[in-house]
Amino acid sequence: MEEYILEMKGIVRTFPGVRALNGVDFRVRPGSVHALMGENGAGKSTLMKCLVGINPPDSGEIWLKGKKVTIPNPHTALKLGIAMIYQELNPVLERSVMENIWLGREPMLASAKFLVDHKAMHAQTKALLKELEIDIDPKTKVKELSVARMQMIEIAKAISYNADIVIMDEPTSALTPNEVEHLFAMIRKLRDRNVAVIYITHKMEEIFRIADEVTVLRDGNHIITKPISEMNIDSLITAMVGRRLTEMFPKMESQIGGVKMEVRHLEVPGLLHDISFELRKGEILGVAGLVGAGRTELMETIFGLRKRSAGDIFIDGKKVNIQSPADAIRAGIGFLTEDRRLNGIIPVLSVRINTIVANLGQYLKYGIFLNHRKIRQDCEEYKERLKIRTPSLDALIQNLSGGNQQKVLVARWLLTNPDILILDEPTRGIDVGAKAEIHTIITKLACEGKSIIMVSSEMPEILGMSDRILVMSRGEITAVLDRREADQETIMRYAAAKANNNHQVA
């Protein structure tokens, strides 16, 4: 057997204006978990897209099990035993789990080769899901599943190809701690079957738990490949950013004032039950909980994107009637949504329009025409202030890295000059450097007297950034903790708690 199942040698890939990969070497051993790390824009995803034939390399060689191969398209990659689970899932939402898994290679009836054998498909899916301990009915429509469960299905699909190499791009970005455990168990199972798993992530702690080897890329260059046992967090970060990050959470102590917003007895049938809490001036209120606890739904309700059946919201002691996002913005609330691509950015439009779109009313000349000069000034100002890296304000936002897209969205909301800023998973899928920058922005805003609600599934972020922590479980608040009394175990206990004694879940 070869020492390496996969060898990529001198891979070069350019895009208009960018040399994304600069002669990268990458080698993976069979039956191992190989972490691929680097900041956004380092070339991780591009390298993998070269491997699976989405963006074949301009030059360089790919050797698979000792044989040189060319992979012009994803279909070939699958035939060669390379399956990839993408960060942005693309399931066919209206079709069932089993149809999604066997899409394009449905089992056919033996008697009539042109008819799909749904019975066999169902049986095979059931067996596959059982083996992976995924408790989902094969006939469920994918749109009914949570993001986490969709991801499980994608992993099952990749495994169903009998691939020797499985690539996972940020697989845990939408998963709760329990689901991460489940995923790791699956990965170990794959490894035991001699499958090589290439694991792309930004989360340090995961690397040390699951990976055998790690390769770091930076600016399209190969920096280092080493067994994980020879690395630690510091050396890894140094390799990734080329400098040392002294402060992971740059939290500054802010002056916490009186009550800014109060939510009383908020109710959304089937989703949220009797939610009451208060938010103080200058405070960062962390909101923790498992996926499905209703955190995003609560924020959407406060912001007027969802109808509530009962409950009141008070801002500065006055009751406000929020029926739509426009009402919420008028009341001084900004909302950075959870899913950047789905609800945040407008991909085909420029950075400039994406920055000002929530705030067009402030740029009117004579009440009707847009003041392009003022727009440019403000965009330039925020570009500087938030260190948004973009070739120009007219560049399409879809061409920016995730971290920079997120900064544009932060700028969008800061321009509305909100007193209350709701941030839903503000650093999901963002590299460490940009993450620290966004954390700095958040803590500065709190120091300026803004009230921040920060929903996050990353425990270190919650613990490192919050003044108080609100824990939700199954649509209810199960605890409000001071940062001094909070630790990972306490939060997890409340996050997993069933509805407490006083309440029934609807």
Partner 1 sequence: MAQQSEVGKFINKYAIFIVLIVMIVVLSFLSPAFLTPQNLINVLITESGRGILAIGVAFAIISRGIDLSVGSIVSLTSVIAASLVQEPTYSARIFPNLPLLPPVVAVIAGLMAGIIVGLTNGALIAYTAIPPFIATLGSMIIARGIALILTNAYPVPMLRAEFKVIGQGLLGPIPYVVIVFVVIALVAYVILNHTRFGKNVYAIGGNVNAARTSGISVEKNLLAIYAFSGFCASVAGILITARAASGIATLGNNYELDAIAAATIGGTSHAGGIGTVPGIIAGILILGILNNGLLLLGISPYLQQVIKGVIIVGAVVFDMRKNARKK
**Strand locations in 246-376, DSSP E?**
259-268, 272-280, 284-289, 310-315, 318-320, 333-336, 364-365, 369-370
Q: Which is nearer to partner 1, 185 or 364 (CB)?
A: 364
The distance of closest approach from Cβ of residue 295 to partner 1 in the complex, given in angstroms and rounded to an integer, is 16
Give the interface with partner 1 as residue ranges (CB under 8 A): 14-17, 19, 58, 303, 305, 324-326, 328-329, 335, 337, 342-349, 353, 356-358, 360-361, 363-364, 368-370, 372, 396, 398-399, 412, 416
Contact by Cβ (8 Å): 71, 56 = yes
Helix/strand/coil for 46:
helix
Q: How far apart are CA 178 and CA 176, in angstroms?
A: 5
Sheet holding 165-169, edge to edge: 82-85, 165-169, 196-200, 33-37, 213-218, 221-227
CA-atom Rg of the chain in angstroms:
24
Q: Which is nearer to partner 1, 233 or 370 (CB)?
A: 370
Q: Which is nearer to partner 1, 392 or 504 (CB)?
A: 392
The distance of closest approach from Cβ of residue 360 to partner 1 in the complex, given in angstroms and rounded to an integer, is 4
- 282 burial class (0-12, 13-18, 19+ CB within 10 angstroms)? buried
In 132-203, which ranges are continuous DSSP H helix? 147-160, 177-192
Q: Which is nearer to partner 1, 66 or 361 (CB)?
A: 361
DSSP one-letter string for 283-304: -EEEEEE-TTSSHHHHHHHHTT
Q: Which is nearer to partner 1, 162 or 377 (CB)?
A: 377
The distance of closest approach from Cβ of residue 442 to partner 1 in the complex, given in angstroms and rounded to an integer, is 19
Q: Which is nearer to partner 1, 246 or 392 (CB)?
A: 392
The distance of closest approach from Cβ of residue 76 to partner 1 in the complex, given in angstroms and rounded to an integer, is 20
The distance of closest approach from Cβ of residue 375 to partner 1 in the complex, given in angstroms and rounded to an integer, is 10
The distance of closest approach from Cβ of residue 348 to partner 1 in the complex, given in angstroms and rounded to an integer, is 4
Contact by Cβ (8 Å): 406, 340 = yes
- 162 burial class (0-12, 13-18, 19+ CB within 10 angstroms)? exposed
Q: Which is nearer to partner 1, 162 or 324 (CB)?
A: 324
The distance of closest approach from Cβ of residue 207 to partner 1 in the complex, given in angstroms and rounded to an integer, is 29
